[in-house]
Amino acid sequence: MAKRTGRAPVTGVLDWAVAERPQPGESASGDLALVQPFAGGVLAAVVDALGHGTEAATAARQAINTLERFPGEPPADLLRRCHEALLGFRGAVVSMASFDTARATMTWLGVGNVEGVLLLADQTLQPSRTTLVTFGGIVGAELPRARTWIVPVALGDTLIFATDGIRTGFADGLATTGSPQQIADGILARHAKGTDDALVLVARYIGGAQRTR
């Protein structure tokens, strides 16, 4: 099946895009993304339900619906809500990032293997990227005591989340000069394994104050 893409910018905070492809032979994907604004910020999240097909899609939608209802809560609280919502469903792995425009920060955490990387617009800074450290576990089955990290963000910094249908190393040598949709499409085209659902969320920070050190 052909890839599906979607773009819906959140004015003043994020310019974002999604590229996704279900496992060959399936019409539904268990990989879903969410970008949801709230007062003072925006939540970006990717859910990858175990397995593939309709049951995985149902579980992923259950988690996404939970995040949609409470986007302004701290990520650790959101993770617990997702865990409770997925009890009795297939489990999932989840990574999320909550942007605070007043402080120009991003608070992120992850359980499982949805990779996350923040590429800085100012490539003279070292390091020029930050990688999300995720915790082993399954949301809805074995929830670890995951911690959050808070990192500063500046205009043009680019967050990328990718499910395990995308090969590791997708961000190596990646140029962020294109639009979020171009970046997401390019990662999907070059790095999709072709044996699993695959999804890429690219979100460029366009709001808030400049980074301070």
Provide the pLDDT for residue 122: 85
* Mean pLDDT for all residues in the chain: 91
211 occurs within a structural domain: no
Are residues 200 and 11 in contact, defined by beta-carbon separation less than 8 angstroms?
Answer: no
Q: How many helices (H) and strands (E) does the chain have?
A: 3, 11
Q: For 111-142, what is each residue's pLDDT tens digit?
A: 999 999 999 998 777 788 999 999 999 999 99
Q: Which residue has the tokens 């929830």?
A: 143
Q: Is the pLDDT of residue 3 over 80?
A: no
Torsion of CA 56, 16, 191, 46, to 10 degrees: -30
213 occurs within a structural domain: no
> Which amino acid is it at 115?
E
Number of compact structural domains in the chain = 1
Rounded Cα gap, residues 187 and 201, in angstroms: 10
Q: For 55-108, what is each residue's pLDDT tens digit?
A: 999 999 999 999 999 999 999 999 999 999 999 999 999 999 999 999 999 999
Of 160, 157, 169, 138, nearest to 206 (Cα)? 157
70 occurs within a structural domain: yes
Residue 34 phi, psi (nearest 5): -140, 135
Whichever domain contains 155, its CATH number is 3.60.40.10
212 occurs within a structural domain: no
210 occurs within a structural domain: no
134 occurs within a structural domain: yes
Rounded Cα gap, residues 81 and 96, in angstroms: 13
Could you list the residue range(s) of the whole structural domain that residue 149 is in?
4-205
